[in-house]
Structure 1
Amino acid sequence: MKSDQKSALHKLSLSGLLISLGIIFGDIGTSPLYVFKAIFSRGVVDKDLVIGSISCVFWTLTLQTTVKYVLITLNADNKGEGGILSLYSLVKRKAGWLIIPAIIGAATLLADGMITPAITISSAVEGLAIRNPGFPVIPLVITIVTLLFLIQRFGTSIVGRVFGPLMFIWFSTIGLVGFFYIDQAPEVFKALNPYYAVQTLIHYPNALFIIGAIFLCTTGAEALYSDMGHCGKMNIRISWIFVKLTLILNYFGQGAWLILHEGEFIGAKNPFYAIMPDWFVLYGVLIATVAAVIASQAMISGSFTLISEAVRLNIWPKVSIRYPSDQKGQLYVPSINLILYIGCMLIIGIFQESSNMEAAYGLAINLTFIATTILMCFFLLRKHVHILWITLFGIIYFSLEFIFLAGNSVKISHGGWLTLILAASLFGTMYSWYAARKIKNTYMRFVDIRKYYPIISELSNDTSVPTFASQLVYLTSANNREEIETKIIYSILNKKPKRADVYWLVHVDVMDVPHAKEYHVTPLIPGKLIRIDFKLGFREEQKISLLFRKVVEDMVKNGEIDITSQYDTLKKHRIPGDFNFVVLEKVFTKTSDLSWYKRIIMEYYKVLKHFSLSEEKGFGLDSSFVTLERVPLNIPNTQNIELHRV
């Protein structure tokens, strides 16, 4: 039923096209607010530079957004879902090192999520200062951004319904405003010839600065791919035709205005508002502010989804994830909401004006583009595309994106350092969490569980041992059903022997697909030791307690298991026995035997553990039915200790 609803949503339809406008294109759709302002605010307007810049914008939107993302990357859908972590899940078996570009892409996308609300809302609100130079822009921007982050906890399903129509108004407005201004200087159509773009980049003395500013026109392309699961690739592709047309018309209209002001210093004037009729400016500011809020909301929601995927894929600490409304896929991650808000306030506080923020914008998302290109090359290999086409794809887009990176690198000293620090902090957190898990896994020891069948059966019937629980449940990381961690065997047999009527082993396997809910039951010792393997998609909530209960209920209904308590009184009245989850928290007793590199990772991991959810909360277990046991992973041996008995 759910798959039918999802496929219906992904079919080409008017509602799907409207959803695309409201969710997918918010970020890229607000770029006309600041692209040309970033290029021309610091110098005298030059006609050749105007035409060259428009040509650069047109061909960037064509090559980077239309060809790479809309036509090629959207084909890399993981059961209808997109985004860099979905793409990584498709190709991760090709090479282990692909986790690095995946983490870089995810971290820089989150850093972009911090600056998007700041720059888009600031650019929109600054239009109010056109007629009122003393207008308090920063307090209003802070108020709007604060309210935006505050409403996240309540869900945005009601607001989401009007996103599409509002963004249709936005795109129609910017397209019409630009269209009606083009006839003031029709020579802007020369920009359709890529010759002018190439000439500008070759001969203009500040070409790198221009490249960095031009890149801002395509910064929302990654969000276009990330949000594919909301409405499907066909709706995105068709709606992009309308979106690109309105963007190009607006850029060309701004270009016409700039040509008319050749030789002038425009300073704080924004060409975006300058092409509007005077009577319309106030309405234009209002529409722009609404569009900026929608673009910011889409980026925040995308960040929540990204983190939920990262948690499932074990590249982010387990954090609280809430579902504030019944709308499918809508999440609220309190910790990320706070991190994004602090980052956003930091950017507003440091840069004050959108013109200063433009210097910091684009550098982080540029790295996301490069990471996506790396993963896409491996995806095309997986799809058995001819190596010549893959090589051509790689040459074109690595060249293009590294040229953009060179342009964006100029921004480092002008504010790009802040987004790099934010992105590096996020990368460090993701990589440390991932690497620490790998280090811990090297210390995990497994044994053949079959040789313990007799003793487990005897222990279950040994009345000399007090009953620990009727149903005793362990979470196991052993992929092989015939193996078990030595720590679990130690917990059952040695660390206060645990007698139970039935022992359960629960294993969770996170699948490479976004949505899956499957399980397999293996009776290792019929009626005594049972293993359940859950196969969950990386976007599925891991409510293990509820999922386990559902499986047991089905097994009882099918007569596969009897969970009646074995205590005489309870057994007489057919009362089910109690369930107890034993969670083993694996800790390092010492890190001195690790290399300096691994030691740093494990020390940082310890810090992150303090801020992450406990194991029982992370797996959705009811803490009243959980016994937590701390077990050492690397027990120090006594070989090097010298003692003399006297």
Structure 2
Amino acid sequence: MSPNLKKLTAAGALITLGIIFGDIGTSPLYVFQTLLIEGGKVNASLVLGSISCIFWTLTLQTTFKYIFITLQADNRGEGGIFSLYALVRRYGKWLAIPAIIGAGTLLADGIITPPISVTSAIEGLSLVPAFASIIVPGNDVVLIIVITIMILLFFFQQFGTGVVGAAFGPVMFLWFVMIAVIGSMQMVHYPQIVKALNPYYGARLLIDHPKGFWLLGAVFLCTTGAEALYSDLGHCGRKNIQVSWIFVKTALMLNYFGQGAWVLMQPANKDFNGINPFFEMVPHAFLIPSIAIATLATIIASQALISGSFTLISEAISMNFWPKITVKYPSNIRGQVYIPSINWILCVGCIAVSLYFRTSAAMTAAYGFSITIAMLMTTILMYYFMRYVKHWPVWLVTIILCVFLCVEFSFFVANAVKILKRLFFLVFEFGLIFTMYIWFRARKINNRFLHFIDLKDQIPLLTALSEDQGVSKFATHLIYLTKANNHKQIEQKIMYSILSRKPKRADVYWFVHIHRTDEPYTMEYSVEELENDKVIRVEFRLGFRIHPRVNVLFRKVVEDMVSRKEVDITSRYESLRKYHLAADFQFVIMEKFLSYNNEFSVSEGFILNSYFAIKKLAQSEAKAFGLDTSETRIEKIPLVVKPLSNIYLTRVDASAPY
């Protein structure tokens, strides 16, 4: 995060509007319309009760939980469920499960938020006489426009948002001013609408209305962007978000009040089916500009969610929750990444959602279930943060936990009825969570069979091999990546690779270890020369948001050591040394495959077979660590979890007849 954005400034607050509040800021396009559709007969009790529920949901869930409490759980300025998990994982191994579920469901939201937002804006053109005959919600023209916008949005991800990002803040500021003014214009004609601030109306709606409790599924849509708000904490800073939220919430509520006022001023027998109060209350002369601004706002909201998905997957890769895949850095903006495979998966998903549901109303009927689960998982992790990191009193943490769980579980139950309408998403959600869980569990099983030995005992062997002229030289500088956290140890398999089969003689043996820190952007290294000019260990301390480009990082370390005269990288070959040519460096990467010599339990067999099936679709270890193929050798080694033991062979006389 830029140091300037940690401070509360006007520029920081403006940038915050563009990055943080896009999702939650565009919710007036569809939330109140959904409540009218699901509420059935439109009357004062439905309107006042709906707006009351919206206000108190934004107050309890967004303001109290996320703005005041959850934003305190920053990991060196960064937010999001994996940042939160990094802060609390030492307090329970099982906490990986809510982190995985929360991340998977939040990612699943990425394929419905862009279509529902953009479709809601485009459908507003149906109110313009010139377009009324061709823009009909759900028809092919709307779908073509929405899908075109989606394709362009995902296509431009590869170039980064640095160029257009500067416009996000001003556009969203214009959006919030516009919705506040439009809403206020209606409130002037019906000021009694402010009665909806009284929670009594919300309570009566939930109790008296025939669908009462189930309307919470539609109410919840007003706060779906709160989880994404926390994920984007690192881009803007807590103070800018908290202060900007005052302006954002005011604009949102003025618009909701305005929509309610407009509805209550309509004839009692008016049919609101297919009517969106948001665009209906816009002055006719301003309709096209308002739709244009709404479309830009929804694109910005979609952009923020897509960028958040990239960041989430990048963190998952770093924390061993996701297979290693290609991660690119399209700009110099810190922390901005582009993941091609995720980008196009989301693109296909968004297009499929648009084609499947066709209208924004149909999308809202299936929207919200995933986010309720993500919020519940964040609440579980937040309990450990409040109790063990912040050391808040047990009684206070218990009260807060009970309030959040009660509210969120109610939303969860109300949204659970949508599951039949969202079977389309279940495969996507299950796939995300399944992949994370399998990768995490398989790595745990894999690590159980890592055997470490004392490196000090191996140094005489390495020295003897290095000086043995009878063995052909494999490389001048031979580099292995090691998982040994203890600098005095090395994996047994590495020594086997060096000493067994055809020994790998080298002048200098390097062992490189990558330690992932709980801080997001740590970039440090240390060097330890275990045997003079023979055995060197390099340890990188990298934050969980730093991509481990080992080739680049290692080269930087060597350059630093050469400048300090700690190592000589002139070629050791006599014919080349006199010409002062640089020595050769060779990386060796060991990739495991699942050996047939295994006896698994059913669960371990399923996990490991799934793991290696997924691994075939992932990047190679060399590419994942940013190693040039010209300097890297791949060795395949078998993973033997439990060797076959119940093999009974009987020897017979070879001369005996069969």
The equivalent of 2:31 in structure 1 is 35
Q: Which amino acid aligns with 2:512?
A: V
Q: Which amino acid aligns with 1:197?
A: G
Q: Which amino acid aligns with 2:32?
A: F
The equivalent of 1:288 in structure 2 is 294
| Aligned partner (choices 230, 233, 249) of residue 228 of structure 1 | 233
The equivalent of 1:111 in structure 2 is 108
The equivalent of 2:651 in structure 1 is 644
Q: Does residue 1:77 correspond to 2:82, yes or no?
A: no
| Aligned partner (choices 397, 408, 420) of residue 390 of structure 1 | 397
The equivalent of 2:148 in structure 1 is 143
| Aligned partner (choices 198, 203, 209) of residue 208 of structure 2 | 203
The equivalent of 1:123 in structure 2 is 120
Provide the C-alpha distance between the structure 2 equivalents of 1:327 and 1:451, rounded to a whole number of angstroms. 46
The equivalent of 2:656 in structure 1 is none
| Aligned partner (choices 404, 409, 415) of residue 402 of structure 1 | 409
TM-superposed CA distance for 1:255, in Å, is 0.7
Provide the C-alpha distance between the structure 2 equivalents of 1:591 and 1:180, rounded to a whole number of angstroms. 75
Q: Which amino acid aligns with 2:64?
A: V
For the 8 Å contact 1:44–1:264, the answer to whether it is kept is no
Provide the C-alpha distance between the structure 2 equivalents of 1:529 and 1:380, rounded to a whole number of angstroms. 45
TM-superposed CA distance for 1:347, in Å, is 0.8
Provide the C-alpha distance between the structure 1 equivalents of 2:213 and 2:629, rounded to a whole number of angstroms. 57
| Aligned partner (choices 352, 363, 372) of residue 366 of structure 1 | 372
Q: Does residue 1:237 correspond to 2:237, yes or no?
A: no
In structure 2, relative to structure 1, the CA distance for the partners of 1:138 and 1:263 (3 Å cut) is same
3-state SS of paired residue (2:355): helix
TM-superposed CA distance for 1:592, in Å, is 5.1
The equivalent of 2:590 in structure 1 is 584
Q: Which amino acid aligns with 1:388?
A: W
Q: Which amino acid aligns with 2:568?
A: D
The equivalent of 1:94 in structure 2 is 91
Q: Which amino acid aligns with 1:397?
A: F
Provide the C-alpha distance between the structure 1 equivalents of 2:169 and 2:425, rounded to a whole number of angstroms. 30
TM-superposed CA distance for 1:49, in Å, is 1.1
Q: Which amino acid aligns with 1:18?
A: L
Provide the C-alpha distance between the structure 2 equivalents of 1:142 and 1:335, rounded to a whole number of angstroms. 19
The equivalent of 2:183 in structure 1 is 178
Bigger drift between 40-49 and 329-338 goes to 40-49
The equivalent of 2:15 in structure 1 is 19
Provide the C-alpha distance between the structure 1 equivalents of 2:223 and 2:426, rounded to a whole number of angstroms. 19
Provide the C-alpha distance between the structure 2 equivalents of 1:20 and 1:226, rounded to a whole number of angstroms. 13
Q: Does residue 1:453 correspond to 2:459, yes or no?
A: yes
| Aligned partner (choices 418, 433, 444) of residue 424 of structure 2 | 418
Structure 2: state its 5+ residue gaps: 136-140, 654-658
Residues 180-229 of structure 1: CA distance to partner in whole angstroms, max 9, x if unpaired? 10133222111111111112112222123310000000001111111111
Q: Which amino acid aligns with 1:468?
A: F
For the 8 Å contact 1:175–1:247, the answer to whether it is kept is yes
TM-superposed CA distance for 1:610, in Å, is 1.8
Provide the C-alpha distance between the structure 2 equivalents of 1:231 and 1:52, rounded to a whole number of angstroms. 35
Provide the C-alpha distance between the structure 2 equivalents of 1:589 and 1:384, rounded to a whole number of angstroms. 48
The TM-score normalised by the length of structure 2 is: 0.95
Q: Which amino acid aligns with 1:230?
A: H
Provide the C-alpha distance between the structure 1 equivalents of 2:648 and 2:89, rounded to a whole number of angstroms. 44
Q: Does residue 1:485 correspond to 2:491, yes or no?
A: yes
Q: Which amino acid aligns with 1:411?
A: K
Provide the C-alpha distance between the structure 2 equivalents of 1:531 and 1:509, rounded to a whole number of angstroms. 13
Q: Does residue 1:573 correspond to 2:579, yes or no?
A: yes
Q: Does residue 1:213 correspond to 2:209, yes or no?
A: no
TM-superposed CA distance for 1:446, in Å, is 1.6
Provide the C-alpha distance between the structure 2 equivalents of 1:81 and 1:214, rounded to a whole number of angstroms. 29
Q: Which amino acid aligns with 1:255?
A: G
Residues 39-69 of structure 1: CA distance to partner in whole angstroms, max 9, x if unpaired? 1125221210110110000000001011111
Provide the C-alpha distance between the structure 1 equivalents of 2:413 and 2:513, rounded to a whole number of angstroms. 47
Q: Which amino acid aligns with 2:478?
A: L
Q: Which amino acid aligns with 1:14?
A: A
3-state SS of paired residue (2:170): helix
The equivalent of 1:50 in structure 2 is 47
Q: Which amino acid aligns with 2:72?
A: N
Q: Which amino acid aligns with 2:396?
A: W
The equivalent of 2:320 in structure 1 is 314
Bigger drift between 39-48 and 154-163 goes to 39-48
Give the aligned length: 641
Provide the C-alpha distance between the structure 2 equivalents of 1:384 and 1:495, rounded to a whole number of angstroms. 56
Provide the C-alpha distance between the structure 1 equivalents of 2:363 and 2:644, rounded to a whole number of angstroms. 56
Q: Does residue 1:440 correspond to 2:446, yes or no?
A: yes
Bigger drift between 177-186 and 461-470 goes to 177-186
For the 8 Å contact 2:593–2:612, the answer to whether it is kept is no
TM-superposed CA distance for 1:637, in Å, is 5.5
Provide the C-alpha distance between the structure 2 equivalents of 1:637 and 1:447, rounded to a whole number of angstroms. 25
The equivalent of 2:525 in structure 1 is 519
The equivalent of 1:63 in structure 2 is 60
TM-superposed CA distance for 1:591, in Å, is 7.7
The equivalent of 1:190 in structure 2 is 195
Provide the C-alpha distance between the structure 2 equivalents of 1:311 and 1:497, rounded to a whole number of angstroms. 34
The equivalent of 2:625 in structure 1 is 619
For the 8 Å contact 2:599–2:644, the answer to whether it is kept is no
Q: Which amino acid aligns with 1:70?
A: I
The equivalent of 2:285 in structure 1 is 279
Q: Which amino acid aligns with 1:28?
A: I
Structure 1: state its 5+ residue gaps: none
Residues 375-433 of structure 1: CA distance to partner in whole angstroms, max 9, x if unpaired? 111111221111111101100001100000011111112x2333333222111111111
The equivalent of 1:430 in structure 2 is 436
TM-superposed CA distance for 1:24, in Å, is 0.3
Bigger drift between 162-171 and 547-556 goes to 547-556
Q: Which amino acid aligns with 1:38?
A: T
Residues 448-489 of structure 1: CA distance to partner in whole angstroms, max 9, x if unpaired? 222112111100000000000000000011111121111101
For the 8 Å contact 1:123–1:354, the answer to whether it is kept is yes
Q: Does residue 1:7 correspond to 2:3, yes or no?
A: yes
TM-superposed CA distance for 1:640, in Å, is 3.0
Bigger drift between 571-580 and 193-202 goes to 571-580
The equivalent of 1:324 in structure 2 is 330
The equivalent of 2:138 in structure 1 is none
3-state SS of paired residue (1:411): helix
For the 8 Å contact 1:591–1:599, the answer to whether it is kept is no
The equivalences for 1:528-539 within 5 A come to 528-539=534-545
Q: Which amino acid aligns with 2:79?
A: G
For the 8 Å contact 1:76–1:87, the answer to whether it is kept is yes
Bigger drift between 601-610 and 395-404 goes to 601-610
Q: Which amino acid aligns with 1:134?
A: I
For the 8 Å contact 1:476–1:506, the answer to whether it is kept is yes
TM-superposed CA distance for 1:573, in Å, is 3.0
